[in-house]
Amino acid sequence: MNQRRESAITLTVFMALLVGLSAVGHWLIFRLESATPLMLSVGLAAILTCLIRRRDLASLGWGWGAWRYQWLSYALPLGTITAAYLIIWVGGFGEWYDANFVLEKKQDYHLDDWSNGAVIVFHFVVTATLSFLLLLPSVLGEELGWRGFLVPELSKLMPFTGVALVSGLLWSVWHWPMIFMGIYDNEGTPLYFQLLTFTLFIVANSFTLAYLRFKSSSVWTAVIFHMSSNVFLQKFFTPITADTMRSAWYVDEFGAAPAFVASLVAIYFWRKGNAEFFFPDKARAARAI
């Protein structure tokens, strides 16, 4: 049996398991009030696929790789989101900062005597460290599937552009049921706009993630990137921004600004990926050339 047919069968097994396990994960969201089981379902689908297809679990990219790629994976989302929110604040689509949110943080941290600026800095440090690390179990579960398994497997069938695009579309569509069910509590814009901007943001990040995965030969770059993106967007920049009448159209994963800046970053890594990786011809999955 040739490699392309083997990969097609393996991907079919993964997709079947993903659909079934994700359905259970969606059911558990409402029972446990947590998305963690859903996120873990992706990694479980990847591990079961490896066992069924007799693939070495080491192929999921457990090695750490070069430190520079891990630091880059942490810094890139922070830089992207910072740039997006500078556009939002300067453009008047949101305001720096929400005094009520800062007051809430003062109370949460028991820092009533601190200045607003000091509390903001402290909250940023907590976000960048403790809050970041707390995301590890659920994000690792998800990334074992997307970048640990799916991206290297797709690279046996298509070039870099196809790998990044297909993995990004699958990743975004996997989130759509939660958008339809209103789990993200992202009101203020039409559903079609939310789906468009969210999908653009996710697919754009997928080009960067695919490049880092192949360049580092490590799934940890994807885990760190994903954790960094989630924590800075959801725990710091979005909540600290004071809303205006137009904010919902520009902020968070469902707004235009992060999707726009992420797309610019993606263009850079798309060009690098196309220049550096030639998977279908030489089947160089999950490693740099």
- pLDDT tens figures, 34-82: 888 899 999 999 999 999 999 999 999 999 999 999 999 999 999 999 9
> How confident is the model over 197-212, as a mean pLDDT?
98
> How confident is the model over 231-235, as a mean pLDDT?
97
pLDDT band, very low/low/confident/very high, at 281 (cuts 50, 70, 90)? low
- pLDDT tens figures, 6-35: 999 999 999 999 999 999 998 888 888 788
The CA distances from residue 85 to 92, 94, 111, 185, 257, in Å, are 10, 8, 26, 20, 7
pLDDT score of 21:
96
pLDDT score of 35:
83
- pLDDT tens figures, 238-279: 999 999 989 999 999 999 999 999 999 999 999 999 999 876
pLDDT score of 228:
98
Q: What CA–CA distance (Å, rounded) separates 148 from 223?
A: 9
Q: Indicate the helix (H) or strand (E) that contains 95.
A: strand 94-96
Neighbours of 20 (CB within 10 A): 12
Mutual angle of helices 67-90 and 191-216, in 10-degree steps? 150
Show the CA angle centred on residue 7, arms to residues 3 and 9, nearest 5°. Answer: 120
